[in-house]
Amino acid sequence: MEPSQRKSLAKRAIYVGSQFHKRHLRDWNLEPPSKPRLNRPLCDALDLNRRGAQQLLERGIELDLISPLFRGDFPQIVWAVTENDTALEAQLDNEQHGTYHGYPMGEGDPLADEVVRVWKEKSAK
């Protein structure tokens, strides 16, 4: 995918979040889940607001940190990295609307280290 195509795609992708990965649901305009899932990583523990999450989603697409699997026009997964080098993964929720929710990758996940390395390499260009 060409850089101009990624830039266009990034503008259409929308971070909506998930109530399963948020501690402070009101900050994200989310309703409590009917069946909470314990032991889910919480992305609001990263001090990341909706605008910051949206920017990271867009930047991940622009840097081509996307999975090869697409649903409709959107990649199934987009990876990004916070300022303090925490690797994040965003999953496509709705292919018609291009909405995503995301969460921190586990510290033991070997892909997390690779995401951080590639993010830094591509951001430096």
Instruction: Mark out the alpha helices in the chain (DSSP H runs).
Output: 3-12, 50-62, 110-123
Number of separate domains in the chain? 1
pLDDT value of position 34: 45
- Rounded-to-integer distance, Cα 40 and Cα 77, Å: 18
Per residue in 55-69, pLDDT tens? 999 999 999 999 999
pLDDT beneath 50: ranges in the chain: 25, 33-36, 44
Domain hosting residue 106, numbered range: 3-123
pTM, rounded to two decimals: 0.80
Does residue 81 contact residue 111 with C-beta atoms inside 8 Å?
Answer: no
**Both tokens assigned to 103:** 């969460």
Name the DSSP letter for residue 44: G
Q: What angle separates helix 3-12 from helix 50-62, to the nearest 10 degrees?
A: 160
